[in-house]
Amino acid sequence: MINKLLNYTSEKPEVYTASTSKFWDDEHISKGMLEAHLNPEWDAATRNHNFVTKSVEWIASIASPVTYPELLDLGCGPGIYAEKFYISGYHVTGMDYSKRSIEYAIDSAKNNNMPIEYIYQNYLDIMYQEKFDVITLIYCDFGVMSNQDRNTLLKRIYQALKPGGIFILDVFTPNQYKGREESKDWYYSESGFWSEKPHICLNSFYRYDDSNTILDQTVVITEDSIEYYNIWDHTFIKEELEEELQKAGFTSLDFYGDVAGDEYKADGNLMCAVAKKKGREVE
């Protein structure tokens, strides 16, 4: 156990080192994640629900469900956005890699008589061909992935869009972590977000400024196990995000300050991109 702990904590991890255990689909952690999704006031797993409403209204204004009816919400969680998209008039498919969230979303849609299709799947594995008019990836999930995974996902999203289809995503900029220094701390808990058993959490914040990437690492120590969870976030300047989207084939790009249509500002913490696949003009 000691040697294992030393291996996890003695050196700064290489960029995009994987966690030792699943995070999004962990049986215990997913309980806390679902609670965070469903709290209407929190900007946690999902943004506060007032912002979600504003965001859906804006998306419907730039990609009307009359013209762009088929929508795929990647990383849909328990369906907070998906249900609002459905109410706005879209035919909605939601995809997420948390079984608990997808099960909640399916039950909620059934209870509310909403024929939304939910799929429990890693969205890196999508293989659709020109099926959707709009694809969304909201709350900065794009930055969690490695360079290779981002490129793979963008190509598959491009293939999944119909000609003239629209991809909408948001990311953090380097300003989100400006001035925050690397740090380490720890705490003990009888039961909490990371484990239902008594445990110690060792928290580390690492910067990789040469690649505009940060890491929030949590090492969870229980009586009989040690696991670490690496939550990566690659931040973007406008030119880099533009280059990645163009490399995937997108020919028309618009940038905003958030996914509710705020004005883009170079010194902002957030950036939203609306990327259009060649094929038809936006009406």
The answer on pLDDT for 283 being more than 70 is: no
The answer on pLDDT for 6 being more than 90 is: no
In SS3 terms, 211-222 reads as: HCEEEEEEEEEC
Strands 252-256 and 270-276, how do they pair?
A: antiparallel
Closest CA to 266 of 245, 236, 243, 246: 236
Average pLDDT, the chain: 94
Strands 183-189 and 132-137, how do they pair?
A: unpaired
pLDDT range class, residue 199, cuts 50, 70, 90: very high
Q: Domain residue spans in the chain? A: 2-21+176-234, 39-173+236-276
- The mean pLDDT value for 223-229 works out to 92
pLDDT range class, residue 2, cuts 50, 70, 90: low
Q: What is the pLDDT of residue 8?
A: 61
pLDDT range class, residue 280, cuts 50, 70, 90: low
The answer on pLDDT for 253 being more than 80 is: yes
The answer on pLDDT for 281 being more than 80 is: no
DSSP assigned state of 237: -
Closest CA to 137 of 117, 161, 109: 161
pLDDT range class, residue 46, cuts 50, 70, 90: confident
Domain 39-173+236-276 homologous superfamily, CATH: Vaccinia Virus protein VP39 (3.40.50.150)
The answer on pLDDT for 203 being more than 70 is: yes
Reported as half-sphere exposure (CB side, CA atoms, 13 A), residue 174 has a value of: 15
- The mean pLDDT value for 182-201 works out to 96
User: CA Rg, the chain, in Å?
Assistant: 19
Give the pair of three-digit tokens for residue 262: 């705020």
Query: In this predicted model, what pLDDT tens digit does every residue of 51-109 receive, in sequence order?
Result: 999 999 999 999 999 999 999 999 999 999 999 999 999 999 999 999 999 999 999 99
The percent of residues above 90 in pLDDT, for the chain, comes to: 89
More confident position, 199 or 279:
199
Task: Among 19-23, 80-84, 246-250, 278-282, name the one with the lowest average pLDDT.
Answer: 278-282
Burial of 217 (0-12, 13-18, 19+ CB in 10 A): buried
More confident position, 210 or 46:
210
Q: What's the CA gap between 181 and 174, in Å, rounded?
A: 13
Q: What is the pLDDT of residue 57?
A: 98
- The mean pLDDT value for 186-215 works out to 96
CB 118 within 8 A of CB 109: yes
The answer on pLDDT for 282 being more than 50 is: no
Query: In this predicted model, what pLDDT tens digit does every residue of 125-180 receive, in sequence order?
Result: 999 999 999 999 999 999 999 999 999 999 999 999 999 999 999 999 999 999 99
State the pTM of this model: 0.94
203: which strand partners?
A: 185, 218
